[in-house]
Amino acid sequence: MPAVYCSLDPGTAILEVAVHKGFETLNAVPHVLSSATLRVPWSDVLIVRPEDIPNRLWLYPCAISAAQQAFGRERLSASSFVVMPSAVSRRSWNLVFDASRSAGRYMLRSQEPLDLDPRLNPPPA
């Protein structure tokens, strides 16, 4: 199932995408920053706390393991929306959901072009 990964704040969203795609791609390829409102009660959102994660090293930047992927898939199959700690920004949280399974359960509030600060992708020295 194709999951949508987003962050609960725009700064972390930029960092999350940069970790996976690189600042060069963020700077050279147009991206859109979206804001949405969940149309479900918070009791329908599965919140994975740091102590719920079986391997504490998953909370730090590391290569993704098969066990991590299985853990995420299991949580996403149990709930339409999952909130979990970000490994990129230690005080931030990510919202993960399957857009096709969650249709009608969130409302798009706004979209705007992502204008990346060029200082995040300086030319080589």
The answer as to whether 80 is a domain residue is yes
Average pLDDT, the chain: 88
The answer as to whether 123 is a domain residue is no
The answer as to whether 122 is a domain residue is no
* pLDDT of res. 7: 64
Output the six-digit token pair for 87: 């490994």
State pLDDT tens for residues 42-61.
889 999 999 999 999 999 98
Task: Give the number of other Cβ atoms within 10 Å of residue 111's Cβ.
Answer: 11
Q: How far apart are CA 3 and CA 80, in angstroms?
A: 10
Nearest residue to 3 via CA among 81, 80, 97, 88: 97
The answer as to whether 98 is a domain residue is yes
Q: What total number of domains does the chain contain?
A: 1
Average pLDDT score over residue span 75-103: 90
The answer as to whether 87 is a domain residue is yes
Taking CA 109 as the corner, what is the angle to CA 40 and CA 38, rounded to the nearest 5 degrees? Answer: 10
Task: Give the number of other Cβ atoms within 10 Å of residue 59's Cβ.
Answer: 14
CB 95 within 8 A of CB 105: no
Output the six-digit token pair for 1: 């199932």
Lowest-confidence region among 1-5, 90-94, 100-104:
1-5
Beta strands (DSSP E) in 11-119 are 32-38, 45-47, 81-85, 93-98, 106-113
* pLDDT of res. 5: 52
The answer as to whether 86 is a domain residue is yes
Full domain range(s) for residue 57: 3-116
Residue 95 has pLDDT above 60, yes or no: yes
* pLDDT of res. 6: 58
The answer as to whether 124 is a domain residue is no
